[in-house]
Structure formats: C-alpha cells, structure tokens
Structure 1
C-alpha cells in the first residue's frame, strides 16, 4: 500500500500515484515600527495542503471505480485520516478538488489513459482531535452496518415466513 485516505487505499495495482506534493505554510504578522525595520510575529501554522497526481490505465490499473470512490468521499464533506505506507500519519484531510484528464479513447468512448489529481487540505492540528474524529466515523459506520444487518435479518425472516405460508397452502 502506498497510502490510505480514510478507507480508500492507494495501491500500485489500483490507484497508483506518481507525484506527491506537500505544501506547508506558517503565518507571521508584520508589525510596522517608526524609524526601524518591521518586526514579524509568528502566530501559528498556516495551510497544510497535499496534491496527489497519477496516471491510470484502466486495462492495467484502476479506473472509473477508483475515481468514483474518491468523488463520493469528497462529496461527503468529511475529513479523512491520511497515512502513508511507511506508517507516517499526516492528519485529517478533506478533499478540496479532483481533476481528471481522459485521453487515448477506445471506439466506445472509454479512455485508455486517465490522468488524475487529488487536492487535499488538512483540517486538524491535534492528533487527539484526529483520533476523536476517527472514532466518531467508526461509530457512525458501526451503526449503519448494524442497521443494515438488522434490516437484512428482518427481510430474510419475512421471506422465510412467506415461503412457509406458500408451502402450507400447497398441501
């Protein structure tokens, strides 16, 4: 695994990226002084942005499905943990933009080559905050899975009862 964003893994065989650009800034306020050079005061970290770019060849690597998953994650508006393959934890990031460039088309219009860029921006500054957000997402996911499982059990029970009633009617 090259990197994981939330539950989306960037793998060499599915969504490999060729470049990873990390830009971090720090904020300083300029204080003018009479007859002297201005002084600067550090006021904290600024923006922390990542840009992930790569090329997909749908016959070999991932394609529409991988990019659709990233688009759905972006549309959710949620922050996702970003961890690289070495175990480095970057923090919680939101997807701010996805760019796709399709080229070298088949007769049916499907692209043989898809260049993609995913722009991410960090939204937390404290690791404790990050783990709190992850646990909230896991709790929400657990509730959804539990609800879906309960619904499936209810449907299966209803279908079994209906089947039994049908069999009783035959005999």
Structure 2
C-alpha cells in the first residue's frame, strides 16, 4: 500500500499512484503603509493541499471500483482519514475533486488507460471544537 484515503487504497495494482504534489504554507494579512511596501501580518497556516496523480488499467488490473468509491466519497463531503504506506497517520482530509481522463477507449467506451487526479485539503479532526468556534457559538 502506498496510501489509504478513507476506504480506498492506492497501490501499485489496481489503483496506481505514481506522483504526489504537496502544498502548505502560511496566510498573511496585507497592511497598507504610506510610502512603503505593504507589510504582512501572519494570521495562521494556509490550507494544506495534496494532489495524487494515479493511473489505472481497467481491462488488465481493474480499478474502476476504487475510482467510483472516491467519487462517492467526494460527493458525500465527509472527511476521510489519510494514512501513508509506512503507517503514518496524516490526519483528516476532504476530497476537493476527482478528475479522470480516459484514453484508448475499448468497444464499450471504457478507457484502457485512465489518468486520475485526486485533490484533497486537510481539515481539523471531525467533531473537534476549537476555542474560538465555541466562543462564537456562545455569542452568535
């Protein structure tokens, strides 16, 4: 197993993940200054995003069921736990999009090669309330 997102395992076969793209950083509020460059004030971490590039070969190895499972999970909006192949728990993530591009279509219209892109964003632990969130609910 390379990764597992919710109930879907990314492996060499049938759902082959061959590339990941990870992005994270900080968010800053810009402040105008007279006669100088705009200052930036750190306001917290920015969204952490991860994109998986996958390739499936339905006629030889399958993988359509895993693709459909990811599409269902994306539409549900439910956070999914992400675990790396070495057993590291990477936290909770929502699926922003699942895109696929089929090439070399067979007689039934199914691609012999399907390139899949899965974009996910890290979210807090489901049900965990922050102090600020609790205060806003008290007064809001």
Corresponding position of 2:60: 60
Q: How does 1:2-81 map to 2 (within 5 A)?
A: 2-81=2-81
Q: Which runs of 4+ in 1 moved over 4 A?
A: none
Shift of residue 96, structure 1, vs aligned partner: 1.0
Contact 2:103 2:113 in 1 (8 A): yes
With the length of structure 1 as denominator, give the TM-score of the two structures: 0.68
CA RMSD of aligned residues (A): 1.8
Shift of residue 50, structure 1, vs aligned partner: 0.9
Higher share of residues assigned strand: 2
Gap regions ≥5 residues in structure 2: 129-140
Gap regions ≥5 residues in structure 1: 134-171
Query: Quick one: distance in 2 between partners of 1:54 and 1:23?
Result: 18
With the length of structure 2 as denominator, give the TM-score of the two structures: 0.81
- Partner SS for 1:33: coil
Q: Deviations over 1:83-137 (max 9, x none)?
A: 111223222111111111111122232221111111111112xxxx36x67xxxx
Corresponding position of 2:90: 90
Q: Which has the higher contact order (CA 8 A, sep 6+)?
A: 2
Compared with structure 1, are the counterparts of its residues 34 and 110 closer, same or farther at alpha carbon in structure 2 (3 Å cutoff)? closer
Larger radius of gyration: 1
